[in-house]
Amino acid sequence: MTIPSNSVGKDIVYIRELEVQTIIGIYDWERKIKQTVSIDIEMETDIRAAALSDDIKDALNYKEIGKRIISFVEASEFQLVETMAEKISEIVLDEFPVPWLRLRVSKPGALRGSKDVGLVIERSNHV
């Protein structure tokens, strides 16, 4: 099987609802307990080499990315979700072959009457 090198499109590898326990928040009580943050990330990649070889060495390894995000978030103590999101995006773009990502970070139950609150950012290494 061959895949044309001139195929048009953007391939996305994603992780959905990655839940991590961390200290996050601006209130005194939030600084004393761990809360759950939920992370969704979509990462641009080109899957053609992996599709041809059927070998993980040619793929964007979402397990390694997930483990890196978990490790970072668990050890963090940010006040703002905005800071956490920016730092996660920097790690993924700097440490993995990802030219573009969309990241959603939310705090389930942070606002009474709401399932969750959070933000979505897009970042890239494109100049």
Share of the chain residues as helix, strand and coil, in percent rounded to the nearest 5: 35, 30, 35
Compute the distance between CA of residue 49 and CA of residue 59 in angstroms, rounded to an integer: 7
Compute the distance between CA of residue 109 and CA of residue 107 in angstroms, rounded to an integer: 6
Contact 12, 42 (CB under 8 A): yes
The Cα angle at residue 113 between residues 112 and 116, in degrees rounded to 5: 80
Compute the distance between CA of residue 114 and CA of residue 52 in angstroms, rounded to an integer: 44
Assess whether 87 carries a catalytic annotation: no
Q: Which of 57, 63, 67, 107 is catalytic?
A: 107
Active site residues: 107
